[in-house]
Every structure is written in structure tokens, then in C-alpha cells.
Homo-oligomer: A and B are copies of this chain.
Amino acid sequence: MSAETFQRARRPEQKRRRQDAILDAARDLARRDGVGNVSLADIAGRVGIHKSALLRYFETREQIFLELTAAAWREWAQALHGALDQAERGSADLVADVFARGFGDRPLLCDLIAHTPLNLERNVSPEAVRRYKLTSLGAVEEAAALVQRVLPALTAEEGREFVTALASLAGAVWQIANPPPALAELYASDPELGHACVDLVPRLRRTAEILLAGLIPSRNQG
């Protein structure tokens, strides 16, 4: 085996390891500082390579975060299977609780959801967006099928409506529930701003309960 063949064979494995290191660095920084506060230079600095070297592995900062979002959707759907595959049928409260905690336990996914249409899909190639969309739509389909399994009164479309509404809300409400420290202090100290304080999981659980209560009887009236 020539040196050249050896190097060629090693290359895909090395490349994947380098990509994983970049994704890990971006994930750590985003968890600590928030997705919106992490630049390409921050990620490169943490990996210990130059920005231009980093761009050999990913198109843009946004593509790195889009890959993290896809991975987070897959892991989220997997966790829902764990919580709902053996669940007793008919309990809307269980579904509401599992979905609220499914987002509450994944702050990075919530932060990423809000950034996706606003930023992440806007600075990458259509092909990268397509790959991402197939993953996120697939995760939503899987989650909708689980909802329908536990609540057979719902149609597939109604399961999808529930999941997409709650996912959009998880992204939006997480941002409101996690203000910068100076604002958290302001909201807590000013009685007039009491309604500006939001607690993510109770709020999502309550909205999930309302949505399911609205969906379940909707066809009985028809």
C-alpha cells in the first residue's frame, strides 16, 4: 500500500472527526452563551484552528448551527419514543406533559428553533436547507404519529398541527423565558412588569393542554 493510498483511506475518517470537534465546540458555546452570541471566530478559537480552515468543513456559521439543529430534532424524537411508546392510550395530560418537558429539557433545541427561519436558513445553500428540512419534518412526523398513537381520536393532520404549534411556541417562549440578566432583574423587581416573566415548562404544558382539549372535541361537534 503506497503512502498516497493510505492517506486517501484515512481522509474521510479524519474529516469526520474534525467536523465533530467543530460541532461540539459550537454546541458548548451555544449552551453557555446562547446561539445568537456565538460567532464563527468563537467556534474556530475553541477548536484551535483558523476561521478559513473551519470553512473547509462547513459552508458558514449558520450551517454549523443548522447541523446542530438537525441532530437536536433527531434526539428529541428519540426521547419522545422512550416516553410514549409504551404509554397508556387516551391521556392528553400525559402527552402535554411529555411534550412540555421534551422542550424544557432541551434549551439548546428551543434556542435553535427560534434562530432557524430568522438566521440559520438564510446564510446556507438551498441543498443544506433541504437536508435540514427533511430531518426536521421527519422528526415532526414521528412525533405526530406518537401523539396519534396515544390519542387515537386525533387525525394525523391534527397530530401535526399540535406538534408544529407547540414547537414554534417552544422556540418563541424560550427566548422570552430567558432574558439577559439585566432584564431578568428588571422584570423581577418591577411589579408592573409581572406578566413579562414566563416560566417555559408550565407555560408549554398549559398551552399543550389547551390545544389538545381544542383538537379532541373538534370532530365530535361535526
Contacts and interface: CB of A to CB of B under 8 A. Distances in A.
A206 B161 contact: yes
Contacts of A168: 168-169, 172-173, 176
A187 B115 CA distance: 19
B217 A119 contact: no
Copy count, this protein chain: 2
Interface string A151-190: 0000000001100010011011101100110110111001
A195 B165 contact: no
Range for the number of chain A residues in contact with chain B:
35 or more
A13 interface: no
A9 interface: no
Nearest to A125: B182
B186 A126 contact: yes
Interface stretch (A15-23, A38-46, A48-56, A128-136): A128-136
A86 interface: no
A130 B212 CA distance: 35
Contacts of A217: 213, 217
A60 interface: no
5 contacts: A130-B193, A133-B193, A168-B168, A168-B173, A211-B211
Interface of A: 36, 114-115, 117-119, 121-122, 126, 129-130, 133-134, 137, 140, 160-161, 165, 168-169, 171-173, 175-176, 179-180, 182-183, 185-187, 190, 192-193, 195-196, 206-207, 209-215, 217-218
